[in-house]
Structure 1
């Protein structure tokens, strides 16, 4: 009997490793140059690396866009002992590690009791990996906070009966990377209340403490760092953003762009259809799915109230375009497609057919949206510039270009 159990554990471990490696491979294949020819992206050089290089450890306490971004700061500090030419690779590997972390948690034993169907968890991981309209957060340290928000959510809603320094550290870094712990605070409180008699609630206390820290920085610095440009809000713009970027962008991806042009006069119909499907999925879904949908709604709601799409133009009209600020839509898109999975597993035949149909659209469109061929990541020759900097004399000031076009930063050789 003991040998039989050991064999089952070995098989389960082997399956876990195989699935995990396949998902890592898929993530890398969507934009292989991110790993094989890494470059700094936007804030990577301008804020994280430059400030770590100039200021050192104290840079970790500097908020950006109204909140602490600890993961980006930490990786920038870790990269300092290495030559500058190594930094983009360190950033990329760190971003990839963060991106695969939700998969590691979902496939682990701690989620077996929450989502009992193993294949449902695999489908959710596949949705996460091939999600369209999502180039910004893919293997990108600046946007790694979005993946860490999923890590935080999964750790909060899953049961943990053993104290773990690794888990606590992960919660702290995740909660102090972006404003997501603030949006998640009702879920943290709800989970703590339901579990305080059954298990230690240390992780919830730690998460809430980090939430208070982020809230402080948000209150103190938000006005100074967020865009003050007019939103350009309207009811039609609201519906169009949801339809174009979440419903069509999250199912058809780039295949839906021609379709968007033809539905302008019927956008409310598609919005209502999406709304009804999500409400039904919310009613039928598990407690954890309801919590995830709440978190997703908080993300898109906050993004609409205080977006960072433009510093010079009204923002909602820009957000109507598929792909504009796609980081805001990735988690709502994942939540929507998991909702379709909830419908597909329902016993009611009509609901099941609708769920399967929507998932088929998503997965049949996935191959056409797999590669980020139209993303603005380009080889800008950073390695050559870094080598020149390495050979330069102390006191030399050099300018470094990075993607996307127009972003650059300066370093003074120490």
Structure 2
């Protein structure tokens, strides 16, 4: 394909991915509001502490991407700050999809059409409302991007090198994921020893040391472990439901399955879990491009199941509630759906048939049902923000925060 045609193709592909991502809930960008920690911590900390907020840990570790955006937002009036947050969150979420499509991942998936296909699947992944275009959860998208960078081909230009270094550092200092990525980067370097892989490993290791030090110094007093309420039956319900089945039938429809006798007796979630694990094991053994992503997904899922954020109920019970804790499944979900797509075109005939059937059901039901997210009602943020911008120093203003909460800020 001529260079000009390639450039046009990729530009069109990137545009399509951005439009698909935008279509899931346009109001999140068009009528932006703070989400969770965006309004509880990132903006208030930047507003009150200024540049020193950049190195404040949260829940035991650094979250640099949120802090940088929040500090930069101080140049804007309050009414426009959620829009900046949403635009940056959209960009961070779009980046892994665009990187998947790009030639940088050609060593993993040689077919450009297939890369566009799986990038589209990631854009439209079901059961991902909690991580959709909000700055707080952008660390999950950056972690996925960091995984792709570690697994990708060596950069061919200075711009690509700067991109890799910048986003490995940013991801490494935004959440604890560099600790999970470290063994993957080590294995990548051990498998293919090159200056590129050594550099990537050193970056991941450096950020892991920084985050580990921060966690050891502050984590014990800022992050209490919840009661898990773990059991074998809940384990299979979690893997069989929110992970393996949610992209197939849609997250909210799993509650209907839970009314079935076969689900309540346990054999249905056990069966779904067994099929999912066997397909992943087959992919791990037969498809080299999926080995490191599957290892990373396993580490992330294990960490999420054993060390989730605190909850008013037992953590594993909360995972079974729709739209609760779904961020812990986002990266495993992406790897699972990429695994299904890959196995549909590779492997033995029974594996292709099984994976293809599951993927067909996912595209027919799960992706269609979860394409659009529920619209957040306007709770008067713009009016309150305009009041804050014109108020006198010392004025106390209460701002609405998605989903369904408030924050009080003193000017």
Q: TM-score, normalised by structure 2?
A: 0.93
Equivalent pair of 2:37/2:136 in contact (CA under 8 Å): yes
Q: Counterparts of 1:372 and 1:380 in 2: how far apart (Å)?
A: 18
Equivalent pair of 1:35/1:93 in contact (CA under 8 Å): yes
Q: Which residue of 2 aligns with 1:354?
A: 354
Equivalent pair of 2:398/2:406 in contact (CA under 8 Å): no
Q: Counterparts of 1:213 and 1:198 in 2: how far apart (Å)?
A: 23
1:226–1:280 CA distance, 2 compared to 1 (3 A): same
1:309–1:260 CA distance, 2 compared to 1 (3 A): farther
Displacement of 1:246: 0.7
Equivalent pair of 1:249/1:322 in contact (CA under 8 Å): no
Q: Counterparts of 2:130 and 2:408 in 1: how far apart (Å)?
A: 20
Displacement of 1:240: 1.0
The 5 Å alignment of 1:153-302 reads: 153-161=147-155, 162-163=157-158, 164-197=161-194, 199=196, 201-253=198-250, 254-262=252-260, 263-265=263-265, 266=267, 267-286=269-288, 288-302=289-303
Q: Which residue of 2 aligns with 1:35?
A: 29
Alignment counterpart, residue 66 of structure 1, candidates 43, 60, 66: 60
- 5+ unaligned residues in a row in structure 2: which ranges? none
- 5+ unaligned residues in a row in structure 1: which ranges? none
Q: Counterparts of 1:133 and 1:211 in 2: how far apart (Å)?
A: 29
Q: Which residue of 2 aligns with 1:388?
A: 387
Equivalent pair of 2:188/2:197 in contact (CA under 8 Å): no
Q: Counterparts of 1:14 and 1:329 in 2: how far apart (Å)?
A: 34
| Greater Cα shift, 219-228 or 293-302 | 219-228
CA deviation profile, 1:301-323 (whole Å, cap 9, x unmatched):
1111111251x221111212232
Q: Which residue of 2 aligns with 1:15?
A: 9
Task: Please report the RMSD computed on the Cα atoms of aligned residues, expressed in angstroms.
Answer: 1.7
CA deviation profile, 1:163-201 (whole Å, cap 9, x unmatched):
533331221111111111100100112223344445473
Equivalent pair of 2:182/2:201 in contact (CA under 8 Å): no
Equivalent pair of 2:61/2:219 in contact (CA under 8 Å): yes
CA deviation profile, 1:294-341 (whole Å, cap 9, x unmatched):
11111111111111251x221111212232211111111111111212
| Greater Cα shift, 189-198 or 47-56 | 189-198
Displacement of 1:404: 1.8
Task: Count how many residue pairs are aligned between Structure 1 and Structure 2.
Answer: 402
Q: Counterparts of 1:113 and 1:323 in 2: how far apart (Å)?
A: 35
Equivalent pair of 1:309/1:325 in contact (CA under 8 Å): no
Q: Counterparts of 1:199 and 1:133 in 2: how far apart (Å)?
A: 35
Q: Counterparts of 1:195 and 1:298 in 2: how far apart (Å)?
A: 21
Q: For residue 410 of structure 2, give the secondary structure of its aligned residue in structure 1.
A: strand
1:206–1:401 CA distance, 2 compared to 1 (3 A): same
Q: Counterparts of 1:368 and 1:396 in 2: how far apart (Å)?
A: 45
Q: Which residue of 1 aligns with 2:38?
A: 44
